[in-house]
Amino acid sequence: VFSDYREIVDPNEELRKLYNKVLASLGSKQEILDQLDKLVKETAEKANDAQKESESAKKIAERVQENLKNNTVNIIEAKNGPTDNLIVGKTLWRDISNGKPGILKVWNGKGWELLIPDVESVKK
């Protein structure tokens, strides 16, 4: 008499089947993962480029500020010569004490020096 039968199963074969199922399900996802990885790398490169451009723009802005500071000239139009905030070679005074157009003078550290001859005295 025969008793209940039991199927003989190879555990390695079952594991291989399960492994192949998992691989098949992940295989279709690999392309998406590769695309996401590529996008992450591109975004990182763009961020690095943007940071470099930002640093360059900052340096340029600082140079512009420095050039403005070094190359700006104050021109003051008045009948009496200014006495405060005078910078040697950078403060100009348009002396209109004898009327317009006036005489252009530059501060030399000690006094006001004529830049151009007085046209009115030549006319007389």
Tell me if the pTM is above 0.75. no
* 82 in Cβ contact with 76 (< 8 Å): yes
Domain that holds residue 100: 73-123
DSSP string for 34-50: HHHHHHHHHHHHHHHHH
Residues 66 and 14 in one domain: yes
Residues 93 and 67 in one domain: no
What would the pLDDT profile of 68-89 be if each residue is shown by its tens digit? 888 888 888 888 888 888 888 7
What would the pLDDT profile of 29-70 be if each residue is shown by its tens digit? 878 888 888 999 999 999 999 999 999 999 999 999 999 888
Residues 80 and 60 in one domain: no
Q: How many CB atoms lie within 10 A of CB 107?
A: 20
